[in-house]
Amino acid sequence: MYKAPYRGNIRGSGQRGLKSRASKILKQIAISLLILAVLLSLSSVKVSFVDNMMGYVKKGLAYDYTIEDGASGIKYVFKKIPVYRNKVASVFKEMEITNTKQKMIMPADGPITSKFGKRVHPVFNDIRVHQGIDIGVKEGTPIKAAMGGTVEKTDFDSELGNHILIKHSDRLKTLYAHLSESTVKVNDKVKQSRIIGKAGATGLATSPHLHFEVWENEKAVDPMTMLEDKSDRQKIIN
């Protein structure tokens, strides 16, 4: 009768080996991701530093270190480069401010007369991308800051007329155009809902309204997706 050669407790030893290897891999991944998270948070602070440090992430999955080793490494980075501790904190604070779609309010009460995206231009009668929304309001209607921030620009040009640009973070800005007047100046700190000007029809406008834009990471985005009150999204005339 054939007897298989004795191999010991293959199942038990195999499971222990797998668990050991899995534990090691999980530790390596955890530490590498932790280092990567720190480096990504520093990416907007000093690119050269991050480029130099990214090599450590590549080695992370191959290096047989413990959780304690990884924690010590992170402490070393912040100990040797203390200036980055405050900058990293500011980056995360900025990210928190930027990720605030629920906190933005409508800058004026009125129907949305023109949506974000491609449309027939009301003056030139051709297809153009509308980089914001138009809110139908009467001349002189108070215009509010959609979020708290710092006034970066108050100006006039032939297209936007009197307009205001508010910086909420390095990633997020809002623009208010065709105003009859502005009641703020550059570098003013404004809170959400503060009156910053009055609606008008200055610049390239056929009637009084507010042209409102939201810029995220230097790209125009649909303001309707950033509003706190979902009922505001229903105020559209078509």
10 or 147: which leads in pLDDT: 147
> Residue 156 and residue 162: Cα distance in Å, rounded?
4
pLDDT of residue 7: 43
Phi, psi angles (nearest 5°) of residue 187: 80, 0
Shared-domain flag, residues 114 and 82: no
Range of the domain at 162: 101-234
205, two tokens: 């406008």
pLDDT of residue 3: 44
The number of domains in the chain is 2
In a domain, 63, yes or no: yes
| pTM score of the predicted model | 0.57
Give, as one character, the DSSP assignment of residue 118. E
Shared-domain flag, residues 105 and 178: yes
In a domain, 4, yes or no: no
Shared-domain flag, residues 108 and 181: yes
Give the H/E segment covering residue 189: strand 189-190
pLDDT in tens, 165-193: 999 999 999 999 999 999 999 999 999 99
The β-bridge partners of 114 are 134
238: confidence class by pLDDT, cuts 50, 70, 90: very low
> Residue 224 and residue 107: Cα distance in Å, rounded?
12
Shared-domain flag, residues 112 and 176: yes
The β-bridge partners of 104 are 227
- 180 and 140 Cβ atoms separated by less than 8 Å: yes
Shared-domain flag, residues 25 and 57: yes
Query: 143: domain CATH number?
Result: 2.70.70.10
Give the H/E segment covering residue 175: strand 172-182
In a domain, 173, yes or no: yes
Which spans in the chain are helix H?
10-42, 47-60, 67-80, 83-98
